[in-house]
Amino acid sequence: MGQTTAFGEMFRKYIADHFRRILLGALALAIFIAVWYFASWRLTESNGVLASYFPYPHQVARAFLASFTSPIPGPEAYMLNLAAASLERVLIGFGIALAISVPFGMLMGAFRTFEDLGKPIVEVFRPIPPIAWAGTFMFAFKAFWGPIAIVFVGAFFPILINVIFGVRSVDPVLMDAAKTLGASRKHVFTKVIVPSTLPYMMTGIKVGLGVAWMCIVAAEMLPIRGGGGLGYAIWTISDIGRYDYVYSVMIMIAILSILTAGVAGQIEQRLYKWMGMK
Amino acid sequence: MEKKTIVLSVIIVAVLVVGGIAAALLLSNKSERRAVYFVNVVPSNMEAWLAVNESDAYITWEPFASSATVSGDGRILMWTSEIMPHHPCCVVVVSKQFLSSDLGPELTKRFVKAHIEATEWMLNALSDHQSANYTLLVNMAADFTDRSAAVVSEAMGHVEFGYEMNASFKSALEEFTNMYINDGWITNETFHNRGYTDVPQFVDEYVNESYVEAAGTVDPRSTMFDVPIRLAYLKGDLHQMAQAVARNATAFGGQSIFEKYGLDVTPSLESGYAAGGDVMNAIGLDEADFGYLGAPPSILKHINNNVETVIVAQANSEGSAIVVGVNSDIHSLEDLIGRTIATPSVTSIQHLLLKVALERLGIELVKA
């Protein structure tokens, strides 16, 4: 009961604080849906091929809701199953990328030797689109780990580059001040370098997450095993021509992407607070 | 509790609960379902997938079934003719836009005539394996499919080439359409919006036999029509060999069968399309006038995406098979339960027939 009241109060306060933003957001959404309706209506009137590619918003909404209670035509799977499969791959691929890129970035940012060793490799591989590795990864890592490897590559470089940049951006005055005050190397690292790097790292994480979702959707369009996933669903439903469901899956990807980015944002805030930065 | 902590907790719990439920659903499905799992693979890669145990079996069109048996890596578990005898497979479709042009009906009649002549030439060649035409056909097929002469000569024995569209052909198309409607792949709303009242009426309108019937009245022509015809077909699909024969000029004294009837036919994509849906998309995007593709994707794209086409001839029936590894312990469809089978795409006739065969045994076909 107390919790419900707290939520209600929080909701009312949020609305009051963000009324203008919410109003404009709702207006933009309404305009978008109106334009969508108009475009669908025009295409339907023309009776052309394009009409089926732009179903009405209410048809998409109907398909979206139906996808939770009955299997989606084509993949013959429920939306939740597909979302879970994609989420699993994104989290595994992103998690591995995070675990490797952060220490590597720290080392490359802090030590010239590591930078000299790592930079040529990073600069060679960084510009290559992750999906270009698809053929190699699908062969080398097979159908389950192949897409995860593509997500890994997609998320790895944004985090790495931001961490390197973050470490290099640490104010030398702060480092000198800490050392003058008797801080050990460990303390300089944990109390100066890591907190200063954190905002950059979080930027890398947010960018990396976005890239990870793009990668998984593209990777799942390749032949894969292991629950299909949202990318597979888009590919298959497009094949049978049910675009109301194609857009439903796109909406699900957007929701998941926003949700994971939201979690990252919340973690960022908690970390700042925990480290005494806010 | 602080606001952010509450929000964070709610989000994390929501993600965990949703993910957990979904994962549990997946796991429970895997363990309890009486199901065969499929994965969509390009036919030319299926043999490799089988070799590295990424799939336990595959179903495909010729020559990719015989390719495995000739190499000694694979064994035929079942021909699709055992699932549905004389089932329709590839068809010839024409764009309604092309048909409605001034010369559309005349050119279509001539196209069908060339298709028939190429098919009859193939049937004649296949009737005598010692003939020069048989050797010529095998070489043409090897070239078109990028497979060896040994593979294509084996494969051609499993394909029923033909062009006529009889009652059983139409009945099978009705069955396919009904399946799609029952599975929700085609909604009744869309079906009726396309102007069809029931499935037999749809098939009657969608299949036009008049061009095959009129082909007997078409004579060769010394000059070419000044209308280029764009043709879409599937990459290396032996079922669609008639168009490759009809396009071949060198084998017939410098003039192709299409040219004999005054037609300037060029591929809209020289390498061929990957799937029937792509062929229909090419027609829908006005990149092709005629297409060779499986009947099911033709039906789906016509109804769901309003790709205005008409089936004017059949290209073949049968000619697809389920292949397993030569030492595989799979000896029946029941043995496939819990295993993974590669299919060309969910809209392919091979996928559809596999689904039919499994459903008769009470087995589901679900995504791996």
Question: Do B69 and B217 fall into the same domain?
Answer: no
**B75 and B323 Cβ atoms separated by less than 8 Å:** yes
User: Cα–Cα distance between B44 and B271 in angstroms, integer?
Assistant: 13
Residue in chain B lying closest to A233 (CA): B367
Nearest CA distance, A206 vs chain B (angstrom): 16
CATH dotted code for A55-274 = 1.10.3720.10
Number of structural domains, chain B?
3
Chain B residues whose CB is inside 8 A of the A73 CB are 183-185
Place of tokens 């032996």: B238
Place of tokens 């009129």: B214
**Cβ–Cβ below 8 Å for A267 and B307:** no
Which residues are bridge partners to B266 per DSSP?
Answer: B230
Amino acid letter at A64? F
Nearest CA distance, B165 vs chain A (angstrom): 24
Phi, psi of A177 (to 5 degrees): -60, -45
Question: Do B81 and B127 fall into the same domain?
Answer: no
* Bridge pairing between strands B290-294 and B316-317: unpaired
Place of tokens 């997938």: B49
Q: Please choose, from the candidates B160, B177, B94, B187, the residue with its C-alpha nearest in 3D space to the C-alpha of residue B347.
A: B177
Question: Do B268 and B341 fall into the same domain?
Answer: no
Q: Please choose, from the candidates B164, B175, B162, the residue with its C-alpha nearest in 3D space to the C-alpha of residue B122.
A: B162
Q: Please choose, from the candidates B98, B78, B116, B149, the residue with its C-alpha nearest in 3D space to the C-alpha of residue B310.
A: B98
Positions of chain B with pLDDT lower than 70, given as ranges: 1-32
Question: Do B74 and B162 fall into the same domain?
Answer: no
Question: Do B4 and B138 fall into the same domain?
Answer: no
DSSP state letter for B88? B
Contacts 24+ apart (CB under 8 A), B8-17: B8/A263, B8/A266, B8/A267, B8/A270, B11/A259, B11/A262, B11/A263, B11/A266, B12/A263, B14/A259, B15/A87, B15/A259, B15/A260, B15/A263
CA-to-CA separations, B304 to A59, A221, B140, B234, B327, in angstroms, rounded: 14, 21, 36, 21, 42
What is the H or E stretch that residue B365 is in?
Answer: strand B364-367
- Is B338 an 8 Å CB contact of chain A? no
Q: Is the dihedral of CA A242, A243, A248, A250 positive or negative?
A: positive
Which residues are bridge partners to B267 per DSSP?
Answer: B231
- Residues 210-239, chain A, touching B (beta carbon < 8 A): 223-228, 232, 236, 238-239
Place of tokens 């919006």: B193
- The pLDDT value recorded for residue B1 is 43
**Cβ–Cβ below 8 Å for A263 and B41:** no
Question: Do B329 and B242 fall into the same domain?
Answer: no
Question: Do B44 and B14 fall into the same domain?
Answer: no
User: Cα–Cα distance between B139 and B152 in angstroms, integer?
Assistant: 9
Question: Do B253 and B349 fall into the same domain?
Answer: no
**Cβ–Cβ below 8 Å for B4 and A78:** no
Question: Do B273 and B244 fall into the same domain?
Answer: yes
Please spell the DSSP secondary structure of A180-230, one letter per residue: HTT--HHHHIIIIIHHHHHHHHHHHHHHHHHHHHHHHHHHTTSS--SS--H
Count of CB atoms within 10 A of residue A198's CB? 17
| Those residues with Cβ within 8 angstroms of residue B352's Cβ, 6 or more apart along the chain or in another chain | B176, B179, B296
pLDDT of A167 above 80: yes
User: Cα–Cα distance between B105 and B162 in angstroms, integer?
Assistant: 22
Nearest CA distance, B6 vs chain A (angstrom): 9
Amino acid letter at A36? W
Q: Residue B233 has which token pair?
A: 């077909």
Residue A3 pLDDT level (bands cut at 50, 70, 90): low
Which residues are bridge partners to B321 per DSSP?
Answer: B60, B79
Range of the domain at B1: 1-32
Residue A105 pLDDT level (bands cut at 50, 70, 90): very high
**Cβ–Cβ below 8 Å for A84 and B15:** no
- The pLDDT value recorded for residue B7 is 54
**B364 and B61 Cβ atoms separated by less than 8 Å:** no
- Cα distance from N-terminal residue to C-terminal residue, chain B: 44
Phi, psi of B188 (to 5 degrees): -60, -35
Question: Do B113 and B66 fall into the same domain?
Answer: no
Which of B11, B275, B284 faces A266 most closely, judged by CB atoms? Answer: B11
Question: Do B238 and B338 fall into the same domain?
Answer: no
User: Cα–Cα distance between B146 and B143 in angstroms, integer?
Assistant: 5
Average pLDDT estimate for A23-38: 94
What pTM value is reported for the model? 0.81
User: Cα–Cα distance between B205 and B228 in angstroms, integer?
Assistant: 27
Which of B54, B304, B366 faces A143 most closely, judged by CB atoms? Answer: B54
Chain B residues whose CB is inside 8 A of the A83 CB are 18, 22
Residue in chain B lying closest to A244 (CA): B304
- The pLDDT value recorded for residue A4 is 66
Taking the CA of residue B189 as centre, how many other CA atoms within 13 Å lie in the half-sphere pointing to its CB?
6
User: Cα–Cα distance between A161 and A101 in angstroms, integer?
Assistant: 9
Average pLDDT estimate for A81-89: 91
**A149 and A155 Cβ atoms separated by less than 8 Å:** no
Interface probe, candidates B33, B305, B340, chain A, greatest A C-beta count within 10 A: B305
Tens digits of per-residue pLDDT, A181-198?
A: 888 888 888 888 888 898
**A73 and B183 Cβ atoms separated by less than 8 Å:** yes
| Those residues with Cβ within 8 angstroms of residue A76's Cβ, 6 or more apart along the chain or in another chain | B365, B366, B367
- The pLDDT value recorded for residue B275 is 87
Taking the CA of residue B118 as centre, how many other CA atoms within 13 Å lie in the half-sphere pointing to its CB?
32
Question: Do B37 and B27 fall into the same domain?
Answer: no
- Residues 6-35, chain B, touching A (beta carbon < 8 A): 6-8, 11-12, 14-15, 18-19, 21-23, 25-26, 29
Tens digits of per-residue pLDDT, A251-263?
A: 999 999 999 888 8
